[in-house]
Each structure stands twice: as C-alpha cells, then as structure tokens.
Structure 1
C-alpha cells in the first residue's frame, strides 16, 4: 500500500502552524494531501500534537479517496505501517510542484526509493535552511523521501519525543537508500517552495497561477487579455471570478441579440465579442479552480460549453445576416467560417492561436458590419482559415 507521511507540527513565522497557512483558499496540509492522492496514496498519516481545524478539514476533503489518520506518537505511527507498505515522506510545509514530484518518484508502475537532496549553500533554500536538514558537508535533505515500511518500523527504537522525520532521514541514510539530487531547474524555477511565511505562500501562488494559466501567444489578443484578467483575479477569487464573468457574458449576449434585432448589427456583434471575451475569462478561472482542487470535471464541461458557444455564435451571425437582408446562400457562411476556424485552431501550427480566438473574430465582424461588409468578412476569414490549414499540410 502506498502511504504518505505528512507533518503538522512546525510553527510558521507569523504564528500558527505551517500546515495551517492558506494557499488559494486551501491549507498547506490539504495541498500536500492532494499531492499524495495524485501519486496513488491510499492512506495518509499526519503527525500532529492534536487535531486542529486544518487537519479536520483535510480529513473531510480526502476521506472519499483515502484513509486519514492523525498520529500523535511514534508508536502509533509504527502500528499504522504494514509490511510491504511504501511511504512518501514530505517535510512540514513543503509545497513542491506535483508534476515534478511525480517525475521524481514514479518508475513505471512503482515508486522509486530515494532520499532527495539539495546543495548546502543553494540560494533557493538560503532563507529556509532549517527545513532542509543537513546530511553531510555538501548536501541537505530536500524534504522528500520514499522509504519502505521496514524503515518506518525501526522508528520505534528512537526516543519517544524525537522528531519523526529527522529519525526517518537518519534511518534511511543508515540503510543506504540512494540519495538523489534535486534537479537544478526545479529549484531555480521556484517549483520547490516552503510555506513558512506569507512571502513564501505568495511566491507559490504566483507559480501556481502561471502553471495553471500559461499565456497564449499575442496572435490571439483577446484570449491573451482574458488570461491576464484571470491571472489578476487570482487563485483565491477564481470561483467568484468565474461566476461574475459568466453573468457578464450572459448580459452581453442578450444585449447583443437585442441590438441586432434593432438592426444595430455592428454594436450587437461588438457585444457578442464582449460575451466571448467574458466566456474566455470564465473558462480560465475554471481551469485555475480545477488546478486548485484537482478536479477532472472541468475539461469535460469546458468542451460542452465550447460546443454551445459555437452554436450560439453561428446563430448570432446568421441572425445578423438575416437582418441585413441576406436570405440566400450567404446564410451558410457563418457555419463554414466557424468550422474552418475550428479546424485551423487544431491544425494550423503557429497560426492556431489566432483561429481559436473567437472574441477577436467577432470584433473584426463588428468592424466589418459597420461598413456593411459582414458577409464579405465572413468569407475572407473563412478563406484565411482554409489557407492556414492548406499551408500547414503543404509544409508537412
């Protein structure tokens, strides 16, 4: 059985415990427990003096996916470990990037045993050297180990009031478990943070947001602006940001349809562009939420909304053409253009980002409609998408 050994004992610089500090609305302990679940842990053992609100909240979060035990003594820890178990040990307050930990510890269908290390004088750990216990003259523990149950069982031989993680480290070194250096880029890119004070939490939240919301190329200007807006909303406010952006988008859609019905086509399409821009913000906030809560449902619902959004966009464009008197074959232009743009967003290589930016497309349509050339703009943009697809195929 895969087991995670966490700790909620170390004090934070500003009072309280490191494990209780909040990152994007979740405790540090909750983040560590989620990491353990992602790595396949079936049981989580948390060293503590007594259950506190962070521990109880963490237990409620994960109890559907794993067993959770608050451990108050070394003997209790030994009693909970079973022969054949593998234990993932994380330092108190450590907030590593989950994908990095997965690469470090996973080896095919099993965990790779090891004690990960960092250089003694590395600048990335200079302000938190007390967290990374010294191993020898040149190395410190990086706060991550994978050991077998036989190592954990020997912890009972140590002092009853000893530091369990420090004892485990020494036992692992005595058992000749391989010491594995942490990759330099992990430290230099801020993917190995310790939550000891507010500044560390802020740095980790910035890293979290950037990982969840990579910037699209500025070939897709409004999608890039939507991503910047979602980043500025932040992880802690992502849920509220998603709801607010969705409501704004609905209001803009209704106004756009009303304006098109009043034959104010350019203004109506501009509001439709605002609706799509708000939808991009809402989608970015949802991706951020999914990253915070490790939710898999977001991807499925995003695809459903993409299909619904494309249908609404086609209907609006057809409505606009009807209002301009286009009751002929030109009504097929919105479907052709949107279909070709979708294909180009998948197959057009470096130009794909632009073809995925529907808010920008609608802004261009609004501009064209102000000159009475909406049908021509649809045809030209459709031809542009087709050209991008063909050029990509030609380069192959």
Structure 2
C-alpha cells in the first residue's frame, strides 16, 4: 500500500534563532532533504514539508529532490495541508530534526493504520517528546487518513506533529519500540545543533550499508573498501559529489598523457586512481541516499580507462581488449551481470591492475594476453550464468 510523508521543518536550531533544524548540514545535504530521501526509499509516493517560512535552503533542497524524481512540495498552512494531503492513503509523519535509521523507516512503511515509533523513557531518550509515563515518541508515526483529517479539522494554530501524535496515542495506535542500543549508538537521535548533526552523520556513515549488488573484481576487493575509508572524511568537509566526480574525469584525461609519452605504468596508475575517485563519488551518493548515475557521467572515467588500455597496446589485441572491457563495464554498471560472483567480473579496473603489475615486472605483452583471456572468460560467465 502506498503512503505519503509529512516532514516538519519549522523549529529553530540551537545554533541560531535564524536557522532551522531542518537546514542543518547532514550527509552532504540538509537534514530535511535526507529525511525526504529516506521516506522516498521506504516507499513514499509524495512528500510534503510543513514550514513556517520558506528559506533559500529549503527551496534549494526541494529543487534537488525534484531533480532526482522525488515528488515534494512545501506546505505553509493548514488550509494547504487539507488541500494537498491524500485522502485515500496513510501518512508517515517525521518529526522536526529527527535522525532515524533507514531500517525504522522501512518497518513503519510496512505497517498499515495508526502506529508510533517509541522509545522507553531513559536518560538517552530525554530529548524526545514524552507520550506517557513510560515512553517517548521516537520521531516517526504512521497515521490513517481518518485520524489525519480528523485532527486537521480541529487543529487551529496547534503544532501538527505533536497533536497528531497525541491523537494517535489516544486512539490506541500500535507502538514499535526502539532498542536502547539504537539511542546509545546514535541510530535514533534528535538533533538541535550542527555539532549534534555532525555526530549523528558520523554514525550514519560508519554504519552505512554496502552495495547490495555484485561489483567487479577490482571494485569489490580494492576500490570499494578504499572508498569506504575515504568517503566519510570528504563528507564531513562538505565536498560536493559532482566536484569529486569531475576530479576523477580530469585525472582520467591527464592519465592519457604519460601513456602517449610511452610511460604506460604511470598512466595505468593514474587511471586506477581516477577510477578510485569515481568510486568515492559513488559512495558519497550512497551515503546521501542518492542513486549513483547510470548515464554518461558514470562512464567518462571508464571510457578514459579503456582508451588508455587501447592506446598503450597500440594493436588489434589491445583494441579488442578495450572493447570487451567496455562491454563488461556497462554490464557491471547497469547490474546485468546475472549470478556472476565479483571475482568473475573482469572490469577495466581489474585489467589496469593486472597490466600495471605485469608492466612493472617487464611482461608488458603478456599482461595484454592474460587480460584478453580473463575478459573473454568473464563475458562467457556472465552470459552462461544469466538469470531468466
């Protein structure tokens, strides 16, 4: 069953009365933008952000979300909420300034009817809103259309989130209790300042899920682990992902120069570094809950890689090797490698690693011959193990 999401973005942060909690920087974007991406990943088909004033940061967040295909709108008053809220689906309510692990979003999305994410009253849960003598609201609530519109009809100037939560409590909504470990580790938190948001973001980045799809040989065993180590530091410095991706493209183009000057080992090393930078950019997108590109931007650095391999070999074997590697790269990026294991997928990065090693030991031609055998075996494996 589809559902909508209502995000609150009106409370001031603890850093400045002029700033909003929702505009705190979090995982390379604003906090409310991250919440919207979580709701969309959980299955929300429309997202409404309830605001008291429309700031440039909120407008830019909406523009970025819309550009990524996430339907989102800013709502300023109860009249607009009554007009825009869906009357045939449940609504997932997200508290202002809350950081909740994606698993809890997914769990609430699977439920139907009124439900509350709660935590037992303790010192760790003190920042959250108390709902009774023993529990506090942990920032997520799923409410039915009847409860939502029944509350909107009588809400006046009251706080929508807290009024809906109290109405859900009075209606006997089911409760999903958050483990205390999630509070202690920061997987569920309420942030009011940028310092608190930074701490919560570090927790998110350190516990971020790995790719759920099969990667190529070099990517799985070398590039992805290195990217997981480097990306949190870049995320904390707020480096835009596109700038990282462009840096990888520029380095890939520069790597062709030493290859043209007959320094293949230097060129291969620079191409591997360019592919690592591209992998880091993908990891930054993953941490920010954005889908890595699958269009031309995803293939610029691999294009330089296969071009460098062809240029360094300067023969029919090198050209054929580059073409086969390009095919494997497209299959790997578009997740069309079937049931092949990572070590079976011989990507351009894998070939560069092998060619770099054979060049250093003085077996340049042998590296191309072995790479050709590996990529042929890889293509055959992908075809033979293709799922129906």
TM-score normalised per structure 1: 0.73
Q: Which secondary structure state, in structure 2, belongs to the residue aligned with residue 250 of structure 1?
A: helix
Task: Map 1:37-186 to 2 at 5 A.
Answer: 37-38=40-41, 39-48=43-52, 50-62=53-65, 65-66=70-71, 68-73=73-78, 77-78=81-82, 80-81=84-85, 83-98=87-102, 100-106=104-110, 111=112, 113-121=114-122, 126=124, 129-130=126-127, 132-156=128-152, 160-182=156-178
**Residues paired across the two proteins, number:** 364
Match of 2:261 among 259, 276, 287: 259
Structure 1 residues 152, 268: CA separation in 2 closer, same or farther (over 3 Å shift)?
same
Question: Does the 8 Å contact 1:41/1:66 carry over to 2?
Answer: yes
Work out the CA distance in 2 between the residues paired with 1:191 and 1:275.
37
The alignment's C-alpha RMSD in Å is 4.3
Q: What are the superposed Cα offsets for residues 82-106 of structure 1, whole Å, 9 maximum, x if unpaired? A: 5434221111011334454124313
Provide the residue aligned with 2:30 in structure 1. Answer: 27
Question: Does the 8 Å contact 1:272/1:362 carry over to 2?
Answer: yes
Q: Which secondary structure state, in structure 1, belongs to the residue aligned with residue 45 of structure 2?
A: coil
- 1:289 aligned onto 2:285: yes
Shift of 1:340: 12
Identify which range, 355-364 or 133-142, moves more after superposition.
355-364
Shift of 1:18: 0.6
Question: Does the 8 Å contact 1:82/1:149 carry over to 2?
Answer: yes
Q: What are the superposed Cα offsets for residues 320-344 of structure 1, whole Å, 9 maximum, x if unpaired? A: xx6xxxx9xx7699569969998xx
Kindly name which structure, 1 or 2, has the bigger radius of gyration based on alpha carbons: 1
Q: Which secondary structure state, in structure 1, belongs to the residue aligned with residue 294 of structure 2?
A: helix
What runs of 5+ residues in structure 2 fail to find an aligned partner?
none
Work out the CA distance in 1 between the residues paired with 2:328 and 2:145.
56
Higher-helix-fraction structure: 1
Identify which range, 165-174 or 93-102, moves more after superposition.
93-102
Work out the CA distance in 2 between the residues paired with 1:350 and 1:61.
33
Identify which range, 28-37 or 61-70, moves more after superposition.
61-70
Structure 1 residues 223, 139: CA separation in 2 closer, same or farther (over 3 Å shift)?
closer
Q: What are the superposed Cα offsets for residues 212-269 of structure 1, whole Å, 9 maximum, x if unpaired? A: 777x99984455445534443226213222222321221122222x222xxxxxx322
Q: Which secondary structure state, in structure 2, belongs to the residue aligned with residue 54 of structure 1?
A: helix
Provide the residue aligned with 2:253 in structure 1. Answer: 250
Question: Does the 8 Å contact 1:12/1:196 carry over to 2?
Answer: yes
Provide the residue aligned with 1:264 in structure 2. Answer: none
Question: Does the 8 Å contact 1:105/1:112 carry over to 2?
Answer: no
TM-score normalised per structure 2: 0.74
Shift of 1:299: 2.9
Shift of 1:271: 2.0
Provide the residue aligned with 2:196 in structure 1. Answer: 200
Work out the CA distance in 2 between the residues paired with 1:103 and 1:31.
18
Work out the CA distance in 1 between the residues paired with 2:353 and 2:181.
36
Structure 1 residues 225, 359: CA separation in 2 closer, same or farther (over 3 Å shift)?
farther
- 1:362 aligned onto 2:355: yes
Structure 1 residues 173, 162: CA separation in 2 closer, same or farther (over 3 Å shift)?
same
- 1:299 aligned onto 2:304: no
Structure 1 residues 184, 348: CA separation in 2 closer, same or farther (over 3 Å shift)?
farther
Question: Does the 8 Å contact 1:276/1:358 carry over to 2?
Answer: no
Work out the CA distance in 1 between the residues paired with 2:49 and 2:231.
35
Structure 1 residues 275, 200: CA separation in 2 closer, same or farther (over 3 Å shift)?
same
Structure 1 residues 116, 230: CA separation in 2 closer, same or farther (over 3 Å shift)?
closer
Work out the CA distance in 1 between the residues paired with 2:37 and 2:224.
30
Identify which range, 184-193 or 140-149, moves more after superposition.
184-193
Match of 2:364 among 374, 382, 385: 374
